[in-house]
Amino acid sequence: MPAKVNIIGAGIFGLSLAVSLKQRGYDVVVFDKNDYSLDEYRNFEVQAASVDQNKIFRASYGKKVHYQRLAMEARDKWEALGNDLFVPSGMLRVQPTDELGNLELETISNMERDGLRDKIFVKGDQQDAARATQQGWDAKLFSFPMPEEPAREFAEVLDTTAGFTRSSAACHHFYKWARELGVEFVFGGEKGAFDSLIKLQTSDGRKKVAGVVTQDGVEHSADTTVIAAGSFSHSLVPDLSYHIESSAGSVARFKIDPSQIELWEKYSPAKFPVITWKKAKRDAAGKDVGSVYVFPRTEEGIIKIGYRGVKYTHFQPAPSEVAYSQEGQWSTPAGPELKPPQIALDAIREFVSIFLPEFKGVPYYSTKFCWYTDSLDNEFVIDYVPTYADNSLFVCTGGSGHGAKFLPVLGEHAADIFMNQEDAKTPLRNFWRWRSDAPRKNGLEEGPDGPRNLAKGVSL
Ligand SMILES: Cc1cc2nc3c(=O)[nH]c(=O)nc-3n(C[C@H](O)[C@H](O)[C@H](O)COP(=O)(O)OP(=O)(O)OC[C@H]3O[C@@H](n4cnc5c(N)ncnc54)[C@H](O)[C@@H]3O)c2cc1C
């Protein structure tokens, strides 16, 4: 009998792993509290980061060459998937000033090392300008004047390896594919929602997970249970509380109509790249302060803008049994009724006034929070939980705001770790391992007294 695996969470991490494990002969059942079979991943109000019109695809990772390479591996797979799931619109990385920042210089140097330099165009570089014209990219090398005097333009790099993925459509594609392969899905309501782990004791007195109980009270036994519940993962398995924390990214949308012919054309993926702007240089601690990004319009006319300069925490009392808490609290997602604070919407407005001037003063069509699963060092967390015996509990989470682009390859690397652990061939093994000895960084050191805690009133 093939080993049975329960996966909790049918977002990008759960789906990608489900496909790869099924292809390797496992008997896989995926549970999710949302019923994606009904809405095809198109209810953008659900709290799942993967359920979204679009996500940035980029291979630009500064010094983190392992992600640059994983992204290029994923890019080939996205192209092979077809169906317009990946749109190579290019991405214009606008710098905080009229000079290229350190992260950009590191990215250029690492892309050059991997033979990708001819795919990127530095604004103002004459050779790059000529190449951009030859390759038909020159029209996307926009100029944006800096608001301050004296008159200068922001420095920019147009990266043509980048673009965006149609995240919800891609999830639906993977869901259908997984079903065709024979993965079973238990979706929606109490029958799909996780309630608890079935815990046993082994003969040598260790804890072991024997499956899950769903909220309808049904027990589902399995050899291994995988937690891939995104920003809810540590609420389900508190052993994860040292490794991850939920934080909120602020998102605002405009909507345009095909009858607005000029705007419809200008903001189409054919004419408009993804634009990211770092408002200010990274601070002394290396933290990004003030990033905003915008996507080309969707087929429905949605122009989505995201602010990730401040990721807001939401500290709540943690259950007493959690492995790690800060002043007895942990950050978990708030309900969908909580909307981005004015300070974040103002940051988006500033971006709009420079980069989307036609929308200055236009009311947002909608705003919302989208919940990140931040890990202590921005690396994913994909490994067995060592507190449980017999490889009975595995986690596949910690997307940290950059996991969506890896959908077509993430499961392959995760399955390698799942099957081979220390003997895994993937170069990601060490980055993604269970690491309770690693220092808590990436904002996770801040705790409930930090300035970005929504539960206390934010000052950033
Ligand atoms: C604002 C924002 C912007 C981002 N932008 C990018 C980007 O541009 N590019 C990029 O590559 N990545 C981006 N990311 C990251 C990317 O979206 C995530 O890494 C990825 O979607 C995480 O997938 P996941 O499967 O771990 O989590 P999720 O998508 O959250 O899926 C988790 C699933 O678990 C289910 N679940 C939760 N609790 C339970 C329960 N109790 N019972 C049953 N099911 C449950 C949920 O319903 C959900 O379907 C961004 C993330 C955010 C928040």
β partners of residue 208? 200
CA 58 from chain centre, in angstroms, equals: 12
Q: How far apart are CA 440 and CA 170, in angstroms?
A: 32
338 alpha carbon to ligand 1 midpoint, in Å?
A: 18
How confident is the model at residue 459, as a pLDDT?
A: 72
Helices (H), 308-406: 342-355
For the chain, give the longest Cα–Cα distance: 75
Q: CA geometry: angle at 390 spanning 386 and 392, to 5°? A: 75
Atom nearest to 214 CA in ligand 1: 42
Give buried/exposed letters for 420-457 (b at 16+ CB in 10 A, else e).
eeeebebebbebbbbbeeeebebbbebbbebebbbbee
Q: Is the CB of 55 under 6 A from ligand 1?
A: yes
The rounded radius of gyration (Å) of the Cα atoms in the chain is 22
Strands (E), 33-149: 55-57, 86-87, 91-94, 120-122
Mutate to test the pocket of ligand 1, among 372, 375, 409 (most ligand atoms within 8 A of CB): 372
CA of 311 to the centre of ligand 1 (A): 15
C-alpha 51 – ligand 1 centre gap (Å): 7
What is the residue-wise DSSP string for 87-106?
E---EEEE-SSSS--HHHHH
**What number of other Cβ atoms are within 10 A of residue 215's Cβ?**
14
Q: How far is the CA of 230 from the centre of ligand 1 (A)?
A: 5
Distance of CA 249 to the CA centre of its chain: 10
CB 66 within 8 A of CB 431: yes
232 close to ligand 1 (CB < 6 Angstrom) = yes
Quote the pTM value. 0.97
30 lines ligand 1 (CB under 6 A): no
Residue count of the chain, please give it.
460
Q: How far apart are CA 62 and CA 95, in angstroms?
A: 14
Q: How far apart are CA 452 and CA 340, in angstroms?
A: 12
- The minimum-distance atom of ligand 1 relative to the CA of 12 is 25
* Alpha carbon of 150 to ligand 1 centroid (Å): 43
Task: Answer whether 428 contacts ligand 1 (Cβ < 6 A).
Answer: no
Ranges of residues in the chain whose predicted pLDDT is under 50: none
The residue nearest atom 4 of ligand 1, judged by CA position, is 401
Residue 285 has what pLDDT?
52
How many CB atoms sit inside 10 A of residue 217's CB?
Answer: 9
Relative orientation angle of helices 12-23 and 167-181, to the nearest 10 degrees: 30
Domains, in order of start, for the chain: 4-54+167-228+378-432 (3.50.50.60), 88-163+245-375 (3.30.9.10)
Atom number of ligand 1 nearest to Cα 56: 8
Q: H-helix or E-strand containing 394? A: strand 393-397
Residue type, 330: W
Q: Residue 73's closest CA among 317, 334, 338, 409?
A: 409
CA distance 191 to 383: 26
Distance 373 CA to ligand 1 centre (A): 7
Burial class (CB in 10 A: 0-12, 13-18, 19+), 386: exposed
Please name which of 33, 71, 111 lies closest in space to residue 403, comparing C-alpha atoms.
Answer: 71
The per-residue DSSP string of 183-219 comes to: -EEEESHHHHSEEEEEEEE-TTS-EEEEEEEETTS-E
| CA of residue 325 to ligand 1 center, whole Å | 22
* Å from CA of 163 to ligand 1 middle: 19
Confidence (pLDDT) at 148 = 81
Predicted local confidence at residue 279, as pLDDT: 81
pLDDT at 288: 56
Residue 367: count of CB within 10 angstroms of its CB? 15
Tell which atom from ligand 1 comes closest to the C-alpha of 195. Answer: 41
Q: Does the Cβ of 311 fall within 6 Å of ligand 1? A: no
Q: How far is the CA of 362 from the centre of ligand 1 (A)?
A: 29
State yes or no: cis peptide before 150, omega within 30 of 0.
Answer: yes
Tell the residue nearest (CA) to atom 26 of ligand 1.
230
Beta carbon of 403 within 6 Å of any ligand 1 atom: yes
Q: Using a 6 Å cutoff on CB, does residue 50 contact ligand 1?
A: yes
